[in-house]
Amino acid sequence: MADFTPFQGFRPRADLAAQVACRPYDVLNSAEARVEAVGNPHTFLHVDKSEIDLPEDVDLYDDRVYAKARENLDRMIALGVLVQDDTDCFYIYRQHMDGRVQTGLVGCCSVADYVDDVIRKHEHTRADKEKDRIRHVDECNANVGLVFLTYRGQARLDQIAEQWTEGHAPIYDFESGGVRHQWWVLDDARLQAEISAGFTKVRNLYVADGHHRSASAAKVGQQRQEANPAHTGEEEYNRFLAVCFPSDQLHIMDYNRLIKDLGGRTPQQFLLDLQTAFTVEAAGERGDPCKPAERGTFGLYLEGSWHRLTIRPELVGEDAVASLDVALLQKHLLTDMLGITDPRTDKRLDFVGGIRGLHELERRVDQDGFACAVAMFPTSIDDLMAVADSGQVMPPKSTWFEPKLYSGLVVHRLD
């Protein structure tokens, strides 16, 4: 069962929320963040990407970056840009995008649940990225970014969120990046108790997005437990900030591949060799992308033309990971044909989120020197849960969730 509790969050003043809220730290680089922050002293990028307030030659992992993040967070609180709620609250975060709506409950999860695998994962973390977020959490003394969790829905939890949003005006309601963001404060103690009780009926939570954020938050909590001889288990560092969405509301987009070379083959030989593992059919010319319509199919863009690849059925096993499209492509094309064995580090491979569209694949091949691109059918949320339940991990870049959760809408302090 999952432990999910309310907390006293630090939130933007209502009149500043749209200025404070920003895209999460891991979807834009420093140069993009510097541009995005121009003319906006309140953007939470000053905390999430604090290097933007330092000279451009300062290393991203320099001590000054973390100190600046803490300084900027403390200043936002001191100036009243962020104000702490007087009582424990749950929050409701609703996003509207392309006619779809997802509504999540924001609260605190348990470090113990993360350690004990009540909160399940489907990706490996990278040591350098984990170390960075550990330092950021520890220096700021706060969780500043939402961990994106999902769960198999509970009708009563959905009902509570729906009734609260119907009966109360949102505290925040703004549009950014083509997404409408709405936010409610749920401060009713009786309903809070019912929500927490409802989550005790949820067997597992699943990290949809935010593996590094959750891992770093848990490790900071463990470090503070070990360093505190008077540790009781009730301290704020035993909890971390998260938003929980029911799985049936979520949308996973394709996460596509770009390949730098054909392993010394001509395009014609490459297409012939693909027939060992795939059926290969002509599917159109540049400007008319081949978007995979079902599991087991792929779109290949090569020399200005699209081809439809279909994995041979006898190659699809029953294992939760090995049967995934991303795993089948990895084994039969990237590894067996091209020798790309580590997709995390091999410079011959790049990834493009589905939000950019398949014409971006054409552009990158035509203009950026890639030999070909592969369009993927999206991994399903059921696949994600099955992999996590099996104790395995997906290949890198298997899922692309949209819309992204904005940072700066609430902060959880650890003291």
In a domain, 322, yes or no: yes
- Say if residue 143 is in the same domain as residue 96: yes
- Say if residue 261 is in the same domain as residue 162: no
- Say if residue 235 is in the same domain as residue 304: no
- Say if residue 331 is in the same domain as residue 281: yes
In a domain, 388, yes or no: no
- Say if residue 337 is in the same domain as residue 349: yes
In angstroms, the CA 318 to CA 51 distance is 46
Low-confidence stretches of the chain (pLDDT beneath 70): none
In a domain, 383, yes or no: no
Q: Give tens-digit pLDDT for 179-203.
A: 999 999 999 999 999 999 999 999 9
pLDDT at 317: 86
In a domain, 338, yes or no: yes
pLDDT at 126: 84
In a domain, 397, yes or no: no
In a domain, 342, yes or no: yes
* Displacement of CA 153 from its chain's centroid (Å): 19
Q: What is the CATH number of the domain that holds 344?
A: 3.30.1760
Length of the chain: 415
Domain carrying residue 276: 255-377
pLDDT at 289: 96
- Say if residue 333 is in the same domain as residue 353: yes
- Say if residue 15 is in the same domain as residue 143: yes
- Say if residue 102 is in the same domain as residue 243: yes
Number of domains in the chain: 2
Phi, psi of 346 (to 5 degrees): -70, 120
Burial class (CB in 10 A: 0-12, 13-18, 19+), 119: buried
In a domain, 360, yes or no: yes
- Say if residue 259 is in the same domain as residue 244: no
Three-state SS across the chain? CCCEECECCEEECHHHHHHHCECCHHHCCHHHHHHHHCCCCCCCHHHHCHHHHCCCCCCCCCHHHHHHHHHHHHHHHHCCCEEECCCCEEEEEEEEECCEEEEEEEEEEEHHHHHCCCEECCCCCCHHHHHHHHHHHHHHCEECCCEEEEECCCHHHHHHHHHHHHHCCCCEEEEECCEEEEEEEECCHHHHHHHHHHHCCCCCEEEEECHHHHHHHHHHHHHHHHHCCCCCCCCHHHEEEEEEEEHHHCCEECEEEEECCCCCCCHHHHHHHHCCCEEEEEEEECCCCCCCCCCCEEEEEECCEEEEEEECHHHCCCCCCCCCHHHHHHHHHHHCCCCCCCCCCCCCEEEEEHHHCHHHHHHHHHHCCCCEEEECCCCCHHHHHHHHHCCCCCCCCCCEECCCCCECCCEEECC
Q: Which of 285, 310, 290 has its CA nearest to residue 300?
A: 290
- Say if residue 193 is in the same domain as residue 224: yes
pLDDT at 345: 87
pLDDT at 372: 98
Q: Which amino acid is at 119?
A: I
- Say if residue 94 is in the same domain as residue 132: yes
Phi, psi of 320 (to 5 degrees): -60, -35
The residues with which 20 forms a beta bridge, in sequence order, are none
- Say if residue 190 is in the same domain as residue 302: no
* Displacement of CA 291 from its chain's centroid (Å): 23
